[in-house]
Chains A and B, each alone.
Chain A
Amino acid sequence: MPPLDLHNFFLEFQDEDYVIIKFPSWFPDYSPGSDIDIFCKDAGSVARKILRLGNACVADGFEIEVTIQESESHTFIDFYSGEILNFRFDLYQKIPRYAKLRIKSTYFDSILKNRKPRGAGHARADYPLYVPDQSDDLVLRYIEYYEWRHRRPEKIRHLEYVRRAVSDNQVRQRFVERLNEFVSRIPRKELRKHTRLSAGLRKIVRRLKRAIKHSGLLPGFLIRSHLAGRAYGIFVTSIRKVLG
Chain B
Amino acid sequence: MTVNQTRYDYFLIWGNGLKYTRNIIDFIRGRPEFDILKIIRHKPESIDEFVKRVYENDAVPWRHLVAKTEYLLESESDVLVIFVKNLQPREEIVGDEDFRHPQCMLMKEMKDEIRNKYNPRVDGRRTEEHVIHGSDFESQTNHMLKLLGCEEGLEYLAKVPNPVIEVPHHIFTFDRFRIRSVKTSEVYCNILRGDAEEWSKDRLPIKETPHYGYLKGVREPYRLYWKKFGGKLLLDDHTPEGFDQLAGDFDYLMPPYETSYILVEKSSLGGYTILDGVHRASILAASGVEMWIAAVVG
Task: Report which A residues bind B (CB closer than 8 A).
Answer: 44, 47-48, 51-52, 54-55, 58-59, 63-69, 72, 75
Given known contacts A59-B181, A59-B293, A63-B180, A51 and B175 CB-to-CB distance under 8 angstroms: no
Distance in Å from the Cβ of A139 to the closest Cβ of chain B? 29
Asked if B165 is an interface residue, CB under 8 A from chain A, the answer is yes
Asked if B229 is an interface residue, CB under 8 A from chain A, the answer is no
Inter-chain CA distance A66–B293, complex, in Å, is: 15
Given known contacts A48-B164, A52-B258, A69 and B179 CB-to-CB distance under 8 angstroms: no
A-chain residues with CB within 8 Å of residue B176 when the two chains form the complex: 65-68
Given known contacts A66-B176, A68-B162, A51 and B181 CB-to-CB distance under 8 angstroms: no
Asked if B177 is an interface residue, CB under 8 A from chain A, the answer is yes
A48-B165, A63-B178 known; 4 other A-B pairs, CB under 8 Å? A47-B164, A66-B177, A68-B176, A72-B163
Given known contacts A48-B258, A52-B258, A63 and B179 CB-to-CB distance under 8 angstroms: yes
A-chain residues with CB within 8 Å of residue B204 when the two chains form the complex: none
Asked if B259 is an interface residue, CB under 8 A from chain A, the answer is yes
- Shortest Cβ-Cβ A-B pairs, 5 listed: A64-B179, A52-B258, A68-B175, A63-B180, A47-B164
**Which one of A51, A63, A67 has the greatest number of beta carbons of chain B within 10 Å?**
A51
B: number of interface residues (CB 8 Å): 15
A-chain residues with CB within 8 Å of residue B165 when the two chains form the complex: 48, 51, 66
Interface pair B177/A51, CB less than 8 Å apart = no
Question: A80: nearest residue on chain B (CB-CB)?
Answer: B178
Distance in Å from the Cβ of A46 to the closest Cβ of chain B? 10
A-B CB contacts (within 8 Å), total count? 51
A-chain residues with CB within 8 Å of residue B181 when the two chains form the complex: 58-59
Interface pair A58/B179, CB less than 8 Å apart = yes
Inter-chain CA distance A55–B254, complex, in Å, is: 10
A-chain residues with CB within 8 Å of residue B253 when the two chains form the complex: 55
Question: A63: nearest residue on chain B (CB-CB)?
Answer: B180
Inter-chain CA distance A66–B180, complex, in Å, is: 11
Question: A45: nearest residue on chain B (CB-CB)?
Answer: B164
A-chain residues with CB within 8 Å of residue B259 when the two chains form the complex: 48, 51-52
Segment 134-166 of B: residues with Cβ below 8 Å from A:
162-165
Given known contacts A52-B259, A64-B178, A58 and B293 CB-to-CB distance under 8 angstroms: yes
